[in-house]
Amino acid sequence: LREVPLVVLGFGNVGQALARLLEERDRFENPEVRLVLVAVIDRGGAVAGKDIPLSEILSIKKEKGTVAEHPRFGQCGVSASQVLDQFPDSVFVDVSPTNAETGAPGLSYLRRAIERGHSVVLASKGPLVADFKGLMELAREAGSRIGYSAAVGTPLPSLETVLLGTHGTRLSGFHGLFNETSNRILREMESGVSYDDAFENARQAGVLEADPRLDIEGWDTAYKVLILARSFWSPEIELDGRRILGISAVAATAVTEAGTRGNKIRLLGSAERNESGVVDIRVEPVQLGPDDPLHALGPGEKGAVFDTDLMGRLVIRSGKAGPHATAAAVVKDVLNIAAHPSVIAI
Ligand SMILES: NC(=O)c1ccc[n+]([C@@H]2O[C@H](COP(=O)([O-])OP(=O)(O)OC[C@H]3O[C@@H](n4cnc5c(N)ncnc54)[C@H](OP(=O)(O)O)[C@@H]3O)[C@@H](O)[C@H]2O)c1
C-alpha cells in the first residue's frame, strides 16, 4: 500500500469539502493507495503533520478563522513553499482563489512545486490562464504531472472525453454550458423573477464566485473554454475580450419571448478551429431550441458538445456541481496520477 501525501493550498469551500470527502471515504484507500492530507495552508498559516485530525482542523477553521491555530499541528505565518519542503513526495493541490491576470496566489507555488518534482492538481483557473504554456513546459522537464479537471467545468469529463476518448480524430470545435450560476439566474428569470432578484438569490445561496463578474460577465466560462482549447489544440491560444459577453445585458422580455417559442436563453461558451488552425473563442447568451442537446439541462447540470471528424458529435452531460463535486474531481485527478497503469486502456 502506497500513501499519497497531499499538501493543500486553500481551505475555503473546496478545501474543506476535500477534507470532509477524505474522511467520509476513508481516505479513498484501496489495495494500492491511500490519500493522506499532510498539510493545509490558508492565509493565516498552515497545519502540517502525518496524522492531522481532519475533523479537528475543520472545527478550528470555523472557530478561529485559520487552521494555523491548531494547538499541536498549527504553524502560524509559514509559507506554502516551506510547507512543501517538509513533504518532498507530496502532490500539491491548489484550491486557492482564481486571479487570471497574475495567477496568484497559486502560480508561484505551483512553479516551485513542479520544479521540485511534485505533481500538482488545481481547481483554480488563474494559473492555467496566466501561464498554461510555462506550467506544461516545467512539468515536462521535471517529469511531473498536472491534473486540472476541477478547473474546467467540474464534474464534466471534458478533458478525458477529448484527450482519451477521441485520440486520433480531428476536433473541429466544441461548445457547452460551463457556468451553472449564469444559467441558474436565467432559469429563474424564465419563471418571472427579475434579474436583480435572481442575482441576489444566487448570492445568498453562496454560488457566486468571490468576484461575481467572473460569473455574470462571462469570464468564468471564457477561462474554462480557453483552458480546454489550449489543452486540445495549442498552449498559445488567447482570448479576445470583445467576444466575451455575459448575461447581465439579457432583458427579461427576451427570456419570456424565447420561452413562448419553446426556446431557452443560456450562456454558451464555444471554440471553433478553422482550416488554417485559427481558434475563435466566444461566450454569449444564445437561444437553444428544443432539439439542441443542451436544451434539456436542468438545475445544477452542465453539458458540452464536441465535433470530431471520425467519431461525429459527442455529447456529455453532468449532474451535481458545487464544492463537493469539485473536491471529487480533485480526488479523481490525484488517484489517476497515483494509479499504476491499468489493464483497461484509458
Ligand atoms: N466553489 C466551487 O464549487 C468551485 C468549483 C470549481 C472551481 N473552483 C475554484 O476553486 C478555487 C477555490 O474555490 P473556493 O470556493 O474554495 O474558494 P474560497 O472559499 O474563497 O477559498 C479560498 C481559500 O484560499 C485561501 N487563500 C487565499 N489567498 C491565499 C494565500 N495568499 N495563501 C494561502 N491561502 C490563501 C483562503 O484562505 P482564508 O480561508 O484564510 O481566507 C481560502 O481558504 C477557486 O479558484 C475557484 O474558482 C471552485
Encode pLDDT of 301-344 as tens digits. Answer: 999 999 999 999 999 999 878 899 999 999 999 999 998 666 77
Question: What's the mean pLDDT when you consider all of the chain?
Answer: 94
Distance 97 CA to ligand 1 centre (A): 4
C-alpha cell of 272?
471553433
pLDDT score of 282 more than 90: yes
Distance 77 CA to ligand 1 centre (A): 18
Distance 14 CA to ligand 1 centre (A): 7
Distance 35 CA to ligand 1 centre (A): 21
pLDDT score of 345 more than 90: no
How large is the average pLDDT for residues 10-14? 95
Decide: 123 in ligand 1 pocket, CB within 6 A: yes
Note if the bond before 155 is cis, omega within 30 degrees.
yes
Which of 81-90, 206-215, 245-254 has the least mean pLDDT?
A: 206-215
Ligand 1 atom closest to 126 (CA): 45
Encode pLDDT of 112-142 as tens digits. Answer: 999 999 999 999 999 999 999 999 999 999 9
**Predicted local confidence at residue 228, as pLDDT:** 98
Decide: 96 in ligand 1 pocket, CB within 6 A: yes
46: helix, strand or coil: strand
Residue nearest to atom 18 of ligand 1 (CA): 12
Decide: 11 in ligand 1 pocket, CB within 6 A: yes
Count of CA atoms in the C-beta half-sphere (13 A) of 47: 27
Decide: 165 in ligand 1 pocket, CB within 6 A: no
Asked if residues 45 and 76 have their Cβ atoms less than 8 Å apart, the reply is yes
Give percent of the chain with pLDDT exceeding 70. Answer: 99
- How many residues are there in the chain? 346
pTM of the model: 0.96
pLDDT score of 346 more than 70: no
Task: Using alpha carbons, list the distances in angstroms from residue 176 to 204, 267, 275.
Answer: 26, 9, 22
How large is the average pLDDT for residues 280-300? 96
Task: Using alpha carbons, list the distances in angstroms from residue 296 to 152, 288, 318.
Answer: 21, 10, 12
d(CA 202, CA 144): 38
d(CA 145, CA 142): 9
**Predicted local confidence at residue 249, as pLDDT:** 84
Encode pLDDT of 43-102 as tens digits. Answer: 999 999 988 999 999 999 999 999 999 999 999 988 899 999 999 999 999 999 989 999
**Predicted local confidence at residue 205, as pLDDT:** 87
How large is the average pLDDT for residues 239-250? 94
Note if the bond before 105 is cis, omega within 30 degrees.
yes
Q: Which of 264, 300, 19 has its CA nearest to residue 153?
A: 300
